[in-house]
Structure 1
Amino acid sequence: ATTSVTVYLHGWYGQPAFLADDVSLLGPGDPKPSPTATSPTPTGTVGPSPTDTTTPSPTATTPRPPARHLLTGYWQNFDNGATVQRISDVPAAYDIIAVSFAEATGTPGGLGFALDPTLSSRLGGYTEAQFKADIAAKKAAGKKVILSVGGEKGTVSVNSSASATNFANSAWSLMQSYGFDGVDIDLENGVSSTWMGQALHTLAARAGSGFTLTMAPQTIDMQSTGAEYFKLALNVKDILTIVNMQYYNSGAMLGCDGQVYSQGTVNFLTGLACIQLKGGLRPDQVGLGVPASTSAAGGGYVSPAVVNNALDCLAAGTNCGSFKPDTKWPGIGGAMTWSTNWDAKSGGGIASTVGSHLHAMP
């Protein structure tokens, strides 16, 4: 006999963001709203890379930041109980800083951004001029600072040629105004591989050399190359820096071997990363997205030591759990955390332990 179990997948704020069937049990305290959507049962299999003839040919190239293995951290443009920070407060271990978040405007696909006034006040009057100067200083130090689009509450939608144009135009304007190096796609309300792909290729062509593009899909979005988010990643592979999937707020998922693995384990990190690595992304385009503390996510926290073990397992086949991939990927992209603020609140273990480990990897 079989049983059907339902899991709600959540965004960073702990609210329901997605519904998947036949996956795993909810953790204690997770909200249980009435289902509003279903997704097909993940297969864990990978297929050929999809093609999209509607996307214009890009002209930009995407050189990686100086580090071979990258540590990405989200910087919170709001105060939610984590340590409030200026951009200058973000430790040097972070190679990419994703400013969270761009806001939707009244124009379909359009983006807006401004410093949160409450955060500014908490920081003693952090001005836009100081914010821009801090971004410039990070860039001068060899870091990348990008604007994240989405989050659990994000409502930006790119679903037509017109909205793709609006996205590219507004993103480019914000990049010029603030000095951002690129964008992060962290939409949890659905993406179009066709239209978002068009928007990102247009933006990359305008930005030219140095454009940085990251993505932070949920686990359900990267179970198969047939999923729209995975299709988007493959569609923009030529301009993509790294995909840091959120290995948290998920419940259990299928690994590339077809086995079910629970979040919060080394097997979960390695088994799910394997799907992306075998599904068409380059090793340097695959990163491990983890919460900085138990306060940063509703579930899926692992210690920095477990993150390092997963990186070693994927890169060299060492420190694995019961799942050991049949391939080694020494060029594995790196790791990401939500957030630099929660990392600071919990003692900086991601920056110090994971960051130093990443930068010491060959």
Structure 2
Amino acid sequence: MLAGVTAAVLATGGIALAGTANAGETGTGTSASSQQPAVGASAVPKHAVTGYWQNFDNGAKVQKLAEVPDDYDIVAVAFADATGKPGQVDFKLDPALGYASEADFKADIDALHKKGKSVIISVGGEKGAVSVGSGAAADAFAKSITGLMDKYGFDGVDIDLENGLNATYMTQALKSIHAAKPNVVVTMAPQTIDMQSPQNEYFKTALNIKSFLTVVNMQYYNSGSMNGCDGNVVSQGSVDFLTSLACIQLKNGLDPSQVGIGTPASPRAAGGGYVDPAVVNNALDCLAKGTNCGTFKPDKTYPGIRGAMTWSTNWDATAGNKWSSTVGPHVDKLP
């Protein structure tokens, strides 16, 4: 989930480490009908909050899916792992989470479905080594993702590849998944540099799948200063950083409903770029209503802005769930 973080930050546990890769089953086994996705893209709220749930212990509070607060609408299980076959991914529960069985994990997914929540599988992370660089790899990726959806009841996939992405083949893979699962939830979590221009591979991928893309929750952190949509350089950790970088996506082809603001749940969750949850709310107000802006104010409002994302539900819980209890209710009240 995070990139460019120093070894010192790693030592504090303040980084999203990908789970240990497993080369076992690829998630293509037959599952009970109760494990079929029960929510899907059509049921994602107009304004939604996404949280990453850690399938590993890195110093944040270890939690089961049942402990994720109701303020989250989309829960991204982090992460699926590369298997060694190009494009193919798999998922294994980390024993550190305390699940007695895989069935208990599936039961928690079902329980979230009953609450109207979507549960998706995230691919990548700062340490992720998944590569989709050929037609064969795209096919393997699509088949393994749909297999995991069938096996666990995941509602979709999150693309969080931080070590390069090929727009041609990732588009092919995601279109194949959508063809097999028309109600699939597809989210993306690019780094800021990946969404600076519609010519970048991540941005191109988002535009290529615009007809079924749920939301791009860009990571507004661990990036240093970046260019805003007005051409000015903006420092991370400010309301202007959030609004002026979101503006780039909004002005270059994405629908407001496909733009979300991703921030760390606590200072420990990232190497830089943390903002108080109240700043996230101010940025959403600025984009949706033209209020609570900083120095930068968009030339129009985007009341359909999707919402916000955080890394992670675990770091949020470690900090007393301040992020979700502040941002969640605010997102619900957006116009």
TM-score, length-scaled by structure 1: 0.82
Read off the aligned partner of 1:187 and give its amino acid letter: L
Read off the aligned partner of 2:194 and give its amino acid letter: D
Name the counterpart of 1:103: 81
Output the CA distance in 1 between the equivalents of 2:205 and 2:41.
20
2:261 to 267, 272, 288: 288
TM-fit CA distance, 1:126: 3.8
Read off the aligned partner of 2:242 and give its amino acid letter: L
Name the counterpart of 1:188: 162
2:321 to 345, 348, 357: 348
Residues 163, 15 of structure 1: alpha-carbon distance in 2 compared, 3 angstrom cutoff: farther
Q: Does residue 265 of the first structure (1) align with residue 238 of the second (2)?
A: yes
Contact preservation (8 Å) 1:233, 1:240: yes
Contact preservation (8 Å) 2:3, 2:162: no
TM-fit CA distance, 1:12: 5.5
Read off the aligned partner of 1:86 and give its amino acid letter: K
Contact preservation (8 Å) 1:65, 1:95: no
Asked which structure has the greater CA Rg, the reply is: 1
Higher percent of residues as helix: 2
1:234 to 203, 207, 220: 207
Residues 322, 113 of structure 1: alpha-carbon distance in 2 compared, 3 angstrom cutoff: same
TM-score, length-scaled by structure 2: 0.89
Name the counterpart of 2:17: none
Structure 1 segments of 4+ aligned residues over 6 angstroms from their partners: none
Name the counterpart of 1:163: 137
Read off the aligned partner of 1:76 and give its amino acid letter: Q
TM-fit CA distance, 1:119: 2.6
2:152 to 178, 181, 185: 178
TM-fit CA distance, 1:246: 0.2
Output the CA distance in 2 between the equivalents of 1:70 and 1:248.
20
Q: Does residue 90 of the first structure (1) align with residue 68 of the second (2)?
A: yes
TM-fit CA distance, 1:64: 4.0
TM-fit CA distance, 1:67: 2.1
Read off the aligned partner of 2:220 and give its amino acid letter: Y
Q: Does residue 208 of the first structure (1) align with residue 208 of the second (2)?
A: no
TM-fit CA distance, 1:140: 1.6
Name the counterpart of 1:249: 222
Output the CA distance in 2 between the equivalents of 1:161 and 1:95.
33
Name the counterpart of 1:14: 5
Q: Does residue 141 of the first structure (1) align with residue 119 of the second (2)?
A: no
Output the CA distance in 1 between the equivalents of 2:200 and 2:232.
19
2:307 to 334, 352, 358: 334
Output the CA distance in 2 between the equivalents of 1:307 and 1:238.
27
Name the counterpart of 1:76: 54
2:287 to 303, 314, 325: 314
TM-fit CA distance, 1:337: 0.1
Corresponding residue pairs, total: 306
Matches within 5 A, 1:106-145: 106-120=84-98, 125-145=99-119
Aligned-residue identity in percent: 62
Name the counterpart of 1:300: 273
Output the CA distance in 2 between the equivalents of 1:315 and 1:66.
19
Please give the secondary structure, in 2, of the residue aligned with 1:280.
coil
Residues 109, 84 of structure 1: alpha-carbon distance in 2 compared, 3 angstrom cutoff: same
RMSD between aligned residues = 1.6
Structure 1 residue runs of 5 or longer lacking an equivalent are 1-9, 17-28, 32-61
Contact preservation (8 Å) 2:165, 2:201: yes
Please give the secondary structure, in 2, of the residue aligned with 1:295.
helix
TM-fit CA distance, 1:63: 4.0
Please give the secondary structure, in 1, of the residue aligned with 2:202.
helix
Name the counterpart of 1:36: none
